[in-house]
Amino acid sequence: MTPGWLAYHPNPCMPRFRLPPGAVDAHCHVFGPGARFPYAPERKYTPVDASRDQLFALRDRLGFSRNIIVQATCHGSDNRALADALRHSDGRARGVATVKRSVTDAELREMHEAGVRGARFNFVKRLVDFTPKDELMEIAQRLAPLGWHVVIYFEAVDLPQLLDFFTALPTTVVVDHMGRPDVTKPVDGPEFGLFVNMLREHPNIWSKVSCPERLSVSGPPAQDGEQNAYRDVVPFARRIVETFPDRVLWGTDWPHPNLKNHMPDDGLLVDFVPHIATTPELQRKLLVDNPMRLYWPDEPR
């Protein structure tokens, strides 16, 4: 594990917020175990091992029914740990892979059979080396006929130069963590405004309203309880949930790679949800209807 990194919370509390039946944790990872699924040589960090069985135990403890497992950069484009987790999930997990231009049609088919439904393009410079946009566009064009979507991860300051590419993608597009807004800037300011406008003008673009623990400057809950947790993120996430209620997803981000200051208690993260989705209807859309429509479109609900 990279020095300075924190490991995930060993014993998260039981959330006070009761998740609606059928809730989906739509952003989480499996890491290794490294002895069985080695980390990528080109990785920028080495994570703590976080196995599928540990993920499924957390799912059950928090009260989720399903997981969306997202390939993280530490595994590069080697999706074996992801596929293994999907195949052992009893159909209760779908995945988002990382694919290169050299991926074959047979490999894509095999991933689809395992439960992969999307590919992730990562533009966060501390995490990945640059991939030319024409390569990514070529990949996206091969994914579109499979019904896959593209997940994009970037930081708010980089949106202006990425916007044309994102809005030209031929698939559904899901933005990780609201495009990482700088929450010290105004929610009505030009930076977040550009992001909101992108969603407004492009109905194929969705957003995860996850990761308050990464975005917050005010920080985790103090001793007085969860009411104050990550409160500076609330206006941003609420704005997206309330403006685009049918295009938002939420996930824990377990096991929370690259956190150095504090490690969230996953139970308290679940308790954050009613602060950003304030009615039972918004909560059901965020946690059940939207992820089911995207990842299990044929499943009766």
Shorter beta-carbon distance to ligand 0GY: residue 107 or 155: 155
Tell me phi and psi for residue 80, to 5 degrees: -70, -40
Q: Which long-range contacts (CB under 8 A, 24 or more apart) does 219-222 make?
A: 219/261, 219/262, 220/262, 220/264, 220/268, 221/268
What's the burial of 271, exposed, middle or buried (CB within 10 Å: 0-12/13-18/19+)?
buried
Shorter beta-carbon distance to ligand 0GY: residue 73 or 216: 73
* Nearest distance in Å: CB 72, ligand 0GY: 3
How distant, in Å, are the alpha carbons of 20, 26, 35, 116, 230 from that of 133? 39, 26, 34, 22, 34
Annotation marks residue 232 as catalytic: no
* Nearest distance in Å: CB 73, ligand 0GY: 4
Residue 150's closest CA among 133, 130, 127?
133
* Nearest distance in Å: CB 37, ligand 0GY: 15
Residue 248's closest CA among 228, 271, 273, 214?
273
Round to whole Å and give the CA distance between 84 and 268. Answer: 29
Q: What is the CA radius of gyration of the chain?
A: 18
- Cβ 240 vs Cβ 178: under 8 Å: yes
* Nearest distance in Å: CB 208, ligand 0GY: 9
- Cβ 153 vs Cβ 123: under 8 Å: yes
Q: Both tokens of residue 219?
A: 């920080």
Which run of H or E residues covers position 95?
strand 93-97
The footprint of ligand 0GY (CB under 6 A) covers 72-74, 122, 127, 153, 176, 214, 253, 257-258
Shorter beta-carbon distance to ligand 0GY: residue 15 or 257: 257
Residue 298 DSSP label: T
* Nearest distance in Å: CB 62, ligand 0GY: 17
Shorter beta-carbon distance to ligand 0GY: residue 104 or 261: 261
Choose, from 25, 253, 265, 271, the residue flagged as catalytic.
253
Residue 52's Cβ-side half-sphere holds a number of Cα atoms within 13 Å equal to 22
Shorter beta-carbon distance to ligand 0GY: residue 82 or 284: 82
**DSSP helix/strand/coil, 133:** helix
Shorter beta-carbon distance to ligand 0GY: residue 72 or 183: 72
* Nearest distance in Å: CB 178, ligand 0GY: 12
Helices (runs of H) and strands (runs of E) counted in the chain: 11, 8
The residues annotated with a catalytic role in the active site are 253
